[in-house]
Amino acid sequence: MKEKSIEKVDKKYFTFAEPPNELILESGEKLGPIKIAYETYGALNANQSNAVLVEHAFSGDAHVAGYHESDDKPGWWDDLIGPGKALDTNKYFVICSNVIGGCRGTTGPSSIDPKTGKPYALTFPIVTIADMVKAQKYLIDHLGIKKLLSVIGGSMGGMQVLQWVASYHDTVRSAIPIATTLKHSPQQIAFDEVGRQAVMADPAWLGGNYYDFGQPERGLAVARMIGHITYMSDRSMEDKFSRKLKEKNKNVKFTTDFEVEGYLRYRGDTFVKRFDANSYLYITKAMDYFDLAGDKFIPKNRKIDVRFLVVAFKSDWLYPAYQAQEIVKLLKTHRVNTTYCEINSTYGHDAFLVEIKKESHLIKHFLRSVYGESGEVNESRSS
């Protein structure tokens, strides 16, 4: 039986700025004011102990669950979030915000620079995963939350989870990084770089100043197609497409012959309608710069009181399980209470969005145990 979704949610906005009206980025550059698009589900309890922050992946956004007024499909992790689901909104207060540098409501390169009245484009400063998390910290403060029950996310969302612990370990009770890494490998950088090159090779990119003319659609579509190959596995592509053929126009060469080609073209074409090309550049760069290896994650002699559930998927070759194991190894070195689970799946990197049942089981029990420990609810009796 399919559980119910949250019926109606709204996107909210929070605008903030450090004095004097700007956020100081990791690079030293300043950015502001910053608008953050976010959504919340459920209610914050009296002592603010039930807040769970969900971090989205590269092309995700704040709309993680429920339906907007005009939606015909729910948020991107709806199967995990709602009444009775793993992130039970009858119990937890769930928050998700769009990252800075993004294009789904939060300030990014497509936003209007108040100094010029025009989109930032490439005058937007380079932002890092740490900057994204720093901006979220302002949101969490604004919402009156002193300590998060948990931070959870997959892929780039998982990097933000790790960064939360690196930047604000006192503010986090537990962390659930999924299908992610402490640092981008050269292969991961390489795939991102080819995507960026595809965008920038499109003459319609215009050095980033395309906002009056329309997106560099063809380049961005190619970039997205590359991404989609890396999100699936050899096996999941075989299961889904094999060598099945499409109807084709035999008079036109190099049109789609195989279903897999049609799928990739469709994915590329729909992506350009919803995602800003410059955001593609900035956010992939933020991932490539991400590097919490060694002491950068947990400095020597720092004691951290955060419980971890680290999840990886066997067929994920974009963020292979060995990278999750490196996270676990580092946590164990620091005697951090860590549970590691490698889920058997053929879905490749996409598994973190698809293997909901297996993830739900793990997350539900992990969170219940962390929440129970806080003394709020004795879950071992109530369940």
Which active-site residues does the annotation give?
Answer: 155, 316, 349
Report, in Å, the least distance between residue 255 CB and a copy of itself. Answer: 10
- The neighbouring-strand residues paired with 152 are 54, 176
Cβ nearer to a copy of itself, comparing 78 with 288: 288
Cβ nearer to a copy of itself, comparing 82 with 125: 125
**Within 298-327, which residues bind a copy of itself (CB under 8 A)?**
317, 320
Q: Tell me how far apart the alpha carbons of residues 109 and 126 are, in angstroms, rounded to a whole number.
A: 10
Q: Tell me how far apart the alpha carbons of residues 148 and 165 are, in angstroms, rounded to a whole number.
A: 11
**Which whole-number Å values give the CA distances from 361 to 194, 264, 358, in the listed order?**
37, 32, 5
Report, in Å, the least distance between residue 218 CB and a copy of itself. Answer: 4
Report, in Å, the least distance between residue 289 CB and a copy of itself. Answer: 8
By CB atoms closer than 10 A (0-12, 13-18, 19+), residue 256 is: middle
Choose the binding region for a copy of itself from 17-25, 30-38, 257-265, 296-304 (rule: CB under 8 A).
257-265
Mask: binding to a copy of itself, 203-242, rule CB under 8 A, as x and -? x--------------xx-xx--xx-xx--x-x--xx-xxx
Cβ nearer to a copy of itself, comparing 99 with 336: 99
Q: Which residue has the tokens 């620091």?
A: 334
Q: Angle at which helices 186-201 and 217-231 pack, to 10 degrees?
A: 160
According to DSSP H, which parts of the chain are helical?
A: 129-142, 156-168, 186-201, 217-231, 234-240, 259-274, 277-289, 321-333, 351-354, 356-373, 379-382
Rule CB under 8 A: say whether 349 interacts with a copy of itself. no
Q: Tell me how far apart the alpha carbons of residues 351 and 367 are, in angstroms, rounded to a whole number.
A: 20
DSSP track, 196-221: HHHHHHSGGGGGG--TTT---HHHHH
Rule CB under 8 A: say whether 339 interacts with a copy of itself. no
Candidate residues 71, 190, 302, 373; the one interacting with a copy of itself per rule CB under 8 A: 190
Interacting residues with a copy of itself (CB under 8 A): 122, 126, 183-187, 189-191, 193-194, 196-198, 200-203, 218-219, 221-222, 225-226, 228-229, 232, 234, 237-238, 240-243, 253-254, 256-261, 264-265, 268, 281, 285, 288-289, 291, 317, 320
